[in-house]
Structure 1
Amino acid sequence: MAARTRRPMRREPSQERSRAMVRRILDAGYEVLLAHGYDRASTGRIAAAAGISPGSLYQYFPDKHVLLGEVVDRCADRLRARISRAFVANLAGGSLPDAVRGNVLALITAFEENAGLLRVLYEQLPPNADTRRADFKHRIDELATTALLGYLPGGARADAVAWVLVRTVENLAISYVLDPPEVDREDAVEEITALLTGYLATRLDPERR
């Protein structure tokens, strides 16, 4: 799918008072989005939650799609940063299976704590917002590729390996969070770890296994 151009905010805040107003609107947008879902998160509801008039909201955001797009981007950035920190910490030492297990656990925990955002990203965004999901996935791909570079032999396609790993763990973790199975959480983490470690064993530099 070709990338679509995102519409900008109507007015960029230049003073602290304006920036505080935008933060207030975005915080209210997040609350309304999780409480009512994307379709029912109207600008009227968001303005009421922010304690402002709809006119004040429209000074900064031309419509709800631009506003909610900013909300989703801000939350996705925070989630990506959290996952990035976990990846770095888990790869700092220990065996590869421990690093994989730590990253799987970190991803599932982050998704569980942001289940509302996850549901919006994967179940509620309109078709013209598909690029936001793609952006989020691409950022996680980059993190995984960087993490793998030190383990793969020279010439290995780290990007391809990362794509397989990310899509596998992403779909399993999202399914676990949004459609919980009757499987113990620890057992699920161990099985996903075994799956990924087994795949990596066929791709890694033997000295780093």
Structure 2
Amino acid sequence: MVERILEAAHEVLLVEGHDAASTNRIARRAGISPGSLYQYFDGKEAIVDAVVARYSDDLAARVAAAFTTNLGARGETVAHDSVAALLAALEADAEMLRVVTEQLPLAHHRERLVALRDQVTQLVATYLAAQRPTRAVEPETAAWLLVRTVEQLTVRYVLDAPSIAREVFVSELTHLVLAHLEPRRT
């Protein structure tokens, strides 16, 4: 029953948006009575939190898997494949990404967003520390900058749908990441 409610809530959020979503609409979409819905959730916000948690967990798993799969590869391969994997994960449910980033109050997903960023940042910092890039910047600093840059650009790419070919975007963002890790010319 919980699965049915979450699927219905996901659909309602995509079709009607956060503000128009209600427990009655979610229950109707799930084919249950509103009273039955309240046996599992306290209300709309609890359901939305569960939908966002599922979305965030799936996104985190996809990104972490792609990054850790390539840890032994060359830096360019790791950067390219990680950017491509994040982009694919965001594109997999672009409309939910839009709901999460543009419709939900930040309080709904801030904790999960911070946890996801921290997890990915730690993975990148660990990788950079092991690689010992020639640039004299702390791995934690470089990871913080890179993760937030890649996140913002990939999210905006998916939501704005610019007329930039996907492979060009991935290639250019990979170049940007790698350029940040190169030694500075003085």
TM-score (norm 1): 0.79
Is the counterpart of residue 87 in structure 1 residue 67 in structure 2?
yes
Please give the alpha-carbon distance, in whole angstroms, between the structure 2 residues aligned to 1:202 and 1:36.
49
Give the C-alpha shift of residue 156 in structure 1. 5.9
Equivalent-residue separation in structure 1 for 2:72 and 2:26 (angstroms): 42
Residue aligning to 2:51: 71
Partner of 1:200: 181
Task: Note if contact 2:62-2:86 (Cα within 8 Å) is conserved in structure 1.
Answer: no
Matched residue of 1:173: which SS? helix
Root mean square deviation, CA, Å: 2.0
> Residue 160 of structure 2 corresponds to which residue in structure 1?
179
Q: Deviations over 1:3-33 (max 9, x none)?
A: xxxxxxxxxxxxxxxxxx2122112111211
Distance of 1:65 and 1:170 partners within structure 2: 26
Task: State the TM-score, normalizing by the size of structure 2.
Answer: 0.88
* Rounded Cα–Cα distance in structure 2 between residues aligned with 1:195 and 1:69: 34
* Cα drift, residue 100 of structure 1: 0.7
Distance 2:20 2:123 in 1: 34
The CA deviation at 1:137 is 2.6
The structure that is helix-richer by fraction is 2
Cα 1:186–1:119 change in 2 (3 A) is: same
* Residue equivalent to 1:207: none
Please tell me the residue identity of whatever aligns with 1:39. Answer: D
Q: Which residues of structure 2 form unaligned runs of 5+?
A: none
Instruction: Specify which of 121, 131, 141 is matched with residue 160 of structure 1.
Output: 141
SS in 2 for 1:149: helix
Identify the residue that residue 24 of structure 1 maps to in structure 2.
4
Within the candidate set 22, 30, 33, 1:42 is matched to 22
In 1, the alpha carbon distance for the partners of 2:62 and 2:155 equals 17
Aligned residues with identical type, % of pairs: 45
